[in-house]
Amino acid sequence: MRAPISGIDHVVIAVRDLDHAQAVYSRLGFTLTPRGVHTLGSQNHCVMFERDYFELLAPPRTHPAMQYYADFLGRGDGLAAIALGTEDANAAHAALRANGIEADAPLDFARPVALPEGTRDAAFRIVQLPVDQTPGCRTFLCQHFTRDVVWRPEYQRHALGAIGLAGIAVIVEDPARDAPSYAKIFDARPQAIAEGLRIDTGSTPIALTARGKLGRRLAGVELPVRPRPFVAALFIRVADRLAAVETLRRGGFAPIALKDGSYAVHAHEACGVTLVFG
């Protein structure tokens, strides 16, 4: 693991209509944080777990740091970015550049959060990596200055029984060509799996695969329709699969049963990313 990166902190699902995304993910059985408005101009809702989370993000106005998301949304909603955890974004930035990864300069921003004791700012420092470093998505480092404001226990309880991120699947033209670029960030060696190659991040693994191989793994499930490369599926760990299925059905979804006992929701039903619950 390339210090000081501590695995995946969260992933970002970019959406054009945040009201619609909020309604969809609430029906899926997730508890969403109240809407946040960043100092960069973006707005979000987060789905928090014990150690990680995912974010529904809408970039409502032009900002240089948000341009990637505006361009991404030109082809529709989907999982657009992976945030890597760090306790020291400045040191991580220096380490990456020393190893030939030309990351952007650290950038600070915040969003106010209304709490029972009063409003506080959730504050962050990010370092964005070149888009071509991780084909299919943008990767950035994220340092939290106010973890107690972001990880609130009242937002970690989900009707779906979701408890954490379990995996990310990226469809690329050639996993053998693209995996080393991902692996360089983590100072890791790609590992062969049935679907392609896996990158161990120190927490949630990233799998690089061909569309046909992932399609066979997720037989009967609709994957996103985007030009390759792109993030196709987000795997989410649940406490009880059958209970999760019942929650999904109550929300109006018809989850697809997979051979390994997990269940999936089509990409077009989940704002452009296939969701797999296992």
> For the chain, which domains are there?
5-155 (3.10.180.10), 162-277 (3.10.180.10)
Structure confidence at residue 1 (pLDDT): 46
Q: What is the pTM of this model?
A: 0.97
Closest CA to 46 of 136, 145, 129, 156: 156
Share of the chain above pLDDT 70, in %: 99
Query: Which DSSP string do the residues of the chain spell out, in sequence order?
Result: --TTEEEEEEEEEE-S-HHHHHHHHHHTTPPPPPPEE-TTS-EEEEEE-SS-EEEEEE--S--GGGHHHHHHHTT-SEEEEEEEEES-HHHHHHHHHHTT--PPPPEEEEEEEEETTEEEEEEEEEEEPPGGGSTTSEEEEEEES-HHHHS-GGGS--TT-EEEEEEEEEE-S-HHHHHHHHHHHHT---EEETTEEEE--SSS-EEEE-HHHHHHHTTT-PPP--SSSEEEEEEEEES-HHHHHHHHHHTT--PEE-TTS-EEE-GGGTTSSEEEE-
pLDDT for the residue 65: 78
pLDDT band at 57 (very low <50, low <70, confident <90, very high): very high
Which residues make Cβ contacts (< 8 Å) with residue 174, sequence separation at least 6? none
**Which of 127, 166, 138 lies closest to 78 in space, CA to CA?**
138
Measured CA to CA, the distance from residue 234 to residue 94 in angstroms comes to 30
Please name every residue paired with 86 in a beta bridge, in sequence order, or none if there are none: 5
Q: Would you state the pLDDT for residue 2?
A: 61
For residue range 100-158, what is the model confidence (pLDDT) as tens digits? Answer: 999 999 999 999 999 988 999 999 999 999 999 999 999 999 999 999 999 999 999 99
Q: Token pair for residue 268?
A: 């077009």
Tell me: pLDDT of 63 over 80: no
pLDDT of residue 64: 82
The pLDDT of residue 66 is: 84
- In angstroms, how far is CA 207 from the centroid of its own chain? 13
Say yes or no to pLDDT of 62 above 90: no
Structure-model confidence comparison of residues 57 and 62, the more confident one:
57
Mean pLDDT of 261-265: 98
Round to the nearest angstrom and report the end-to-end CA distance of the chain.
Answer: 26
Tell me what the mean pLDDT of segment 168-176 comes to: 97
Residue-level pLDDT at 3: 62
Read off the pLDDT band of 226 (50, 70, 90).
very high
